[in-house]
Structure 1
């Protein structure tokens, strides 16, 4: 179905366009309704430009009943994304297991977490309108200048510090963790973490995060369903609505203008360029993940914002199958883990509280800033003596997406020792911290042999696969604005703030392209 503008143009010129069934025309298409896709939709809408956002996941509206998201540990089908493709989900492909048996063991679902096994690491992404911000911890730390300059040598840090970081924090509705919440018994482990950091000589930094602490106060007083305050803030969403995911900030503002159309359960499987326009192949899914139909959207400008797994996968497939042959050799390269580490502290006798509230209250950086560590609440309702921590740094090695013609899909090749120095540095910092327990504690990494990557980044690195503002080399009207634009790292911090600030920076420069 052609849109009104196309029909008017054809009528004025005397042409009659006949489109195949299931094909429609749009001026601007955005693939992905996560952080970068929502920012792009908002900025375009501000400029009076219409866009269509295609999101493979479903909407997750916060309701008064407080049951939008599955609750850990009582998780259900809403938790895991499973679309039936080979290699998706938490089950690696077993050659002797028939596809029907796989389907029976793990049925299709349009759940929150897209977990993909890549042989020697596992990536975790958010699925749904809001993308990764539905399931992330909401932390918005800013990189140190020195670390940023090493990772982003062509992006002026002063520009980011003075304009784009503050702008992104403001529009994401960032708040700093407040004292009165910290005093609650639910945040015992956060207070303990602060004490340990101080004893070890590390300066605790208050965390800016995308949480509404008035809602958290309502949870603590019994006026809202306990969610973040009982550890239900990470992976499983936040049923109280305390977490301000981008579907409730940037994207809500974009939709309010009437210029943005969001289509959930629209899974983009292929992109191509033909006759000066982009062709986007879309599977329309039902809530169980079953394909209800396939259609094509033709557009003049295409913004990719599907994240650090799916954006490079789409582009590498398109380049190496001839659908976008002019993409350069940097597409697919420079993929990284952001140095993600997931150590656990187990105390010998010191209680850590139960359940432990989130989001994280304090982070700390190693001397020199090459590593950042933080602690977030553990959701189990009984005392465990456990403290869930994260560590981040700049990885040593980088992965490469390549197209496997035999399997007809793009695959990730990651060097098994790519995070070796980060792992060593994080372990050293964590041992310094655990040494401060007066009655003893140990630290261990349950994902040491097969890393769990919560922040997959890169594959379409800025300044290499694109120009300095996200325009893909080789094509006019094709953009990447998401985590794939990061060169495998965001300089030893959680990536959300830098992704948002970079998207804002890119859009300041490319918005004129859409006029």
Structure 2
């Protein structure tokens, strides 16, 4: 029989109330139960990060009865159907960026903002801006919902043979899709005015003899329908996605994996807890030092947590920062030398085409309707996706997001002793150039097949990726279940495991599937 208490807790999450689940499980603030729980600093397992890898890990550990704490640096954001919650390219707010003084985003002009714990970190590495989520739910709050797998031939070229593609397709990809509720855009949504650009994009692709397919997405189509009916605050249908959809239009991890994890009763979540360092103590337990923040970004103190099992799921950028610093500063001296190597930008590229004679309307919807995979003819294989580029939704243009299969260009995270920071040390503009050439060649062919279309140069001076992957590559720095080699009880469960390139797909589905497979093996083996 289904557990009615668990249904009640999951019902809270459907209303965007993870804090309500926490209260129900550990007691109300001010109660003895809450005080006892909040004062705990030792757990059997500790998960750093609540994105795709961290949420998967937390749920499966909780279901196995493992006493688990999830630490997340960002805020938990509520669902507000009646008024805007997040900022956007047309409504810039302090909560858009993680502690920045100036905005920095493709097509956005630099605008001063007050540093705050916003939903998106943009790290200005040499020759590459790296973007990653900073919220409860991690990247699922700020991504565009596309949930696709890489083609077999490229997966098998990039990943270790000990991770069978057939196993992912048979077991782990379907498990993740089911949890996330991923599915294609319904026809009535596709036919609506905000998706004129999607229909035009498909028609242009067909004219160029490029076959498109519906893209699975984690947008909540019922909320999109309510936007179209004007019964909730418009968000996704006016091009918002990059900085969140506060009306609940995204079925992100705060509505799927995370509430299920908390409802097990074995998992706690502490938001606004920014991990500053990790290490190992003399008794063999792991140490995690955290800076606590309030919702405005002010420091409220430092706490040290300890655990027997430490799962790094802070996202590619921050997992590499934590581990490389721990190795070079002597807190985890046994980490393999390969940690920090094999980073890639997933071949991320954006492209715009203008068609002034075919107006698409004043604003356009953010969810991606269609995708196509182009194996040959452009230098690199690439997946192209129907897209809305933030800040350009009102232009007479169609946007394409592309991810290319680049097996060659990789970077390394290194420790800078003078600044005591970990930086992407050896990335060059040339490492992004092959992907840019492939995307331009694709767009040129589409333009040639569609008279009246023109190329548009997006106003973004900085090479950019929203899909950083690699650095703790599975099969090199870890075994095939994410155990870091030579460090018992230490695991990686995020995009760092991917080999610098997903293989022709957005990373979220593959990150979650590999985490599902890895944590299942860890639980079965008892560690």
TM-score, normalised by the number of residues in structure 2: 0.87
Write the deviation string for residues 299-341 of structure 1: whole angstroms up to 9, x where unpaired.
Answer: 1110000001000110000011110011111100000100011
Aligned to 1:481: 493
CA contact (8 A) 2:82 2:232 kept: no
CA contact (8 A) 1:271 1:318 kept: yes
C-alpha separation in 2, matches of 1:65 and 1:284: 31
CA contact (8 A) 2:415 2:423 kept: yes
C-alpha separation in 2, matches of 1:380 and 1:52: 38
C-alpha separation in 1, matches of 2:361 and 2:449: 18
Aligned to 2:254: 247
**Larger displacement relative to structure 2 (149-158 or 302-311):** 149-158
Listed as ranges, the matches of 1:140-155 within 5 Å are: 140-154=147-161, 155=163
CA contact (8 A) 1:175 1:212 kept: no
CA contact (8 A) 2:416 2:422 kept: yes
Equivalent residue for 1:178, pick from 170, 177, 186: 186
Equivalent residue for 2:164, pick from 143, 151, 156: 156
Aligned to 2:437: 424
Listed as ranges, the matches of 1:370-385 within 5 Å are: 370-377=381-388, 383-385=394-396
CA contact (8 A) 2:364 2:393 kept: no
Equivalent residue for 2:515, pick from 503, 506, 512: 503
Confirm whether residue 79 of structure 1 aligns to residue 86 of structure 2: no
Listed as ranges, the matches of 1:161-310 within 5 Å are: 161-232=169-240, 234-274=241-281, 275-310=283-318
- Structure 1 pair 271–353 and aligned structure 2 pair: CA distance change class (3 A): same
Equivalent residue for 1:322, pick from 325, 330, 346: 330
Write the deviation string for residues 191-230 of structure 1: whole angstroms up to 9, x where unpaired.
Answer: 0001011111111010101111111111111222211111
Give how far 1:278 is off.
0.2
Give how far 1:403 is off.
0.6
- Structure 1 pair 514–128 and aligned structure 2 pair: CA distance change class (3 A): farther
C-alpha separation in 2, matches of 1:352 and 1:207: 21
TM-score, normalised by the number of residues in structure 1: 0.89
Give how far 1:256 is off.
1.5
**Larger displacement relative to structure 2 (115-124 or 58-67):** 58-67
Aligned to 1:97: none
C-alpha separation in 2, matches of 1:283 and 1:272: 15
CA contact (8 A) 1:345 1:442 kept: yes
Q: Secondary structure of 1:298's match? A: strand
CA contact (8 A) 1:108 1:290 kept: no
Q: Secondary structure of 1:398's match? A: coil
Aligned to 2:446: 433
Give how far 1:105 is off.
5.8
Write the deviation string for residues 60-100 of structure 1: whole angstroms up to 9, x where unpaired.
Answer: 1213433332243112111111079xxx9849xxxxxxxxx
Give how far 1:474 is off.
1.4
C-alpha separation in 1, matches of 2:415 and 2:201: 45
CA contact (8 A) 2:126 2:428 kept: no
Q: Secondary structure of 2:53's match? A: helix
C-alpha separation in 1, matches of 2:100 and 2:270: 17
C-alpha separation in 1, matches of 2:230 and 2:188: 16
| Structure 1: runs of 5+ lacking an equivalent | 1-21, 92-103
CA contact (8 A) 1:151 1:487 kept: yes
Confirm whether residue 131 of structure 1 aligns to residue 143 of structure 2: no
Listed as ranges, the matches of 1:63-78 within 5 Å are: 63-78=80-95
Give how far 1:513 is off.
4.9
Q: Secondary structure of 2:176's match? A: helix
C-alpha separation in 1, matches of 2:119 and 2:291: 18
Confirm whether residue 397 of structure 1 aligns to residue 409 of structure 2: yes
Give how far 1:111 is off.
0.5
Give how far 1:258 is off.
1.7
C-alpha separation in 2, matches of 1:63 and 1:348: 36
| Structure 2: runs of 5+ lacking an equivalent | 1-38, 106-110
Aligned to 1:12: none
C-alpha separation in 2, matches of 1:44 and 1:223: 39
Give how far 1:176 is off.
1.1
CA contact (8 A) 2:356 2:397 kept: no
Confirm whether residue 457 of structure 1 aligns to residue 469 of structure 2: yes
Write the deviation string for residues 345-373 of structure 1: whole angstroms up to 9, x where unpaired.
Answer: 22243213221112010011113482011
CA contact (8 A) 2:86 2:93 kept: no
How many residue pairs get aligned? The number is 477
CA contact (8 A) 1:89 1:115 kept: no
- Structure 1 pair 64–440 and aligned structure 2 pair: CA distance change class (3 A): closer
Q: Secondary structure of 2:95's match? A: coil
C-alpha separation in 1, matches of 2:465 and 2:260: 31
Q: Secondary structure of 2:512's match? A: helix
Write the deviation string for residues 472-503 of structure 1: whole angstroms up to 9, x where unpaired.
Answer: 01111100010111111100111111111111
Confirm whether residue 117 of structure 1 aligns to residue 124 of structure 2: yes
- Structure 1 pair 394–286 and aligned structure 2 pair: CA distance change class (3 A): same
C-alpha separation in 1, matches of 2:81 and 2:193: 26
C-alpha separation in 1, matches of 2:73 and 2:149: 30
Aligned to 1:3: none
Aligned to 2:11: none
Listed as ranges, the matches of 1:10-25 within 5 Å are: 24-25=41-42
Equivalent residue for 1:35, pick from 32, 36, 52: 52
